[in-house]
Amino acid sequence: MASLPIEIVYGLYLGVLTGIIPALVSWTFGFVFKYVTGVTVPALAVVVLAVALAGVNGGLLALNDPTFTGSEDRVRLSVALIVVLMGSLYAHSAGDRMGASLPRRLSLKRFTERTLSTDVVELVGGRGQVRVTVTGDVGDIEGYPPIPADLREELKSGSWTFPADVPLAELETRVADRLRTEYDLADVSVTLDERARATVAAAPPVGGLSKRVPPGKRGVSVSALVPTGLDRGEKVTVSTADRVVSGEVLGVKIADSDGEAGVETPSAADVESPPARDVVGGEGRVTVAVAAADAEALLGATQSRLVVRSRGTRREYELISLLRRAGNRVRKYTLREGGALDGTTLGDASVRDTYGVVILAVRHGDRWQFAPRGSQELAGGDELFAVGTREDLTAFAEAAA
């Protein structure tokens, strides 16, 4: 028999060599049992299994076996047995912890789903936010005309803030919706990388007279003496030989020096009439939105007289002006399903205290409610008008709209 230190070293070596398989089996046993049933295997069962696998006379009974206790190698065998037991218990504990922490529902999507890099997430008010910027040139979408250079440059230099706790796929959809709404784009495609850099392709807004004709109305062009400064949206009265018709101006063309209607130079984003400051009075043609019953009478008239009706001073314009001077804006939103306001009331949501905005009107179902009270119910799909600063309105839109 060798000296005691040598025997201990031999025992450690033998325990490590023999305990690899028991430790591996113990880890697997602990992990699978915890993951499937949620119950931890008792340590005694792990010890019996490990010793049995180590092959020392079938388990703990080996400690009382005369063959073991009277053997000349009893020291190294005892050390080896201790190493096997400790390794197996540790491996079982590690497997048990992993079985408890690993998500129960595994899918390929969880491993392939793209996420944002933590470097681009900013903490604002305890919430993670990410600023989306455009990288590279803004491309065109096949089948649409190219977007104007000024709009392309505005998109390229823009940035937008969104919550950081959403997958990249959903964030791409939100960015596309924001661009489509803010710039009235006909179509837009957005691809984001892990650093919130967007590759954007867009189609310009689709201009056209039909988009400006109100439902139930008809657009009719009449020849008349056009007042200087006439602009789209003006309320006018058109008088013919046998009828007086009220309508709204949709477009203006002034005749040139030869008496022909001058051709406007439309921009890529708008084929409407020039601004009022560019309209010089004279003979020309005015496109007016009128009731369907009056359209035929105007079409049969060879010459018409056009009178602009005064709008006067409207209090709502003064209110909007005062709000803008104070740094506020008014925006319209549609509440999303599952959002912060879905299924609650204005009072329970504490919209003013939480988001810093004031709700002016809410359309719940088919009814508009102006100056709503705190008991006003809200649900996904409701439309509302909110007033607040740009920052507060943006944060409110990201949370609820």
114-170: pLDDT as tens digits: 677 777 788 766 678 888 999 999 999 887 888 889 889 999 998 888 888 777 888
Cβ within 8 Å of residue 284, ≥6 positions away: 223, 224, 226, 252, 253, 254, 255, 261, 262
**CATH at residue 395:** 3.30.70.1450
Q: Check residue 59 and give its pLDDT.
A: 44
CA distance 349 to 351: 5
Mean pLDDT of 221-233: 85
Q: Check residue 138 and give its pLDDT.
A: 93
pTM score, whole prediction: 0.34
Residues 271, 334 within the same domain? no
- Residue that terminates a domain, selected from 269, 291, 308: 308
Kindly state whether residue 106 falls inside one of the protein's structural domains. no
Kindly state whether residue 47 falls inside one of the protein's structural domains. yes
Is the per-residue pLDDT at 201 higher than 90?
A: yes
- Residue that terminates a domain, selected from 170, 203, 236: 203
Kindly state whether residue 112 falls inside one of the protein's structural domains. no
What total number of domains does the chain contain? 4
Average pLDDT, the chain: 76
Is the per-residue pLDDT at 315 higher than 70?
A: no
Kindly state whether residue 387 falls inside one of the protein's structural domains. yes
Q: Check residue 202 and give its pLDDT.
A: 92
Residues 222, 261 within the same domain? yes
* Closest to 87 measured CA to CA, from 30, 29, 19: 19
Who wins on pLDDT, 22 or 246?
A: 246
Main-chain dihedrals φ then ψ at residue 260, nearest 5 degrees: -85, 150
Kindly state whether residue 110 falls inside one of the protein's structural domains. no
Residues 258, 328 within the same domain? no
Range of the domain at 27: 4-101
Kindly state whether residue 340 falls inside one of the protein's structural domains. yes
- Residue that terminates a domain, selected from 254, 283, 308: 308
Kindly state whether residue 133 falls inside one of the protein's structural domains. yes
Kindly state whether residue 265 falls inside one of the protein's structural domains. yes
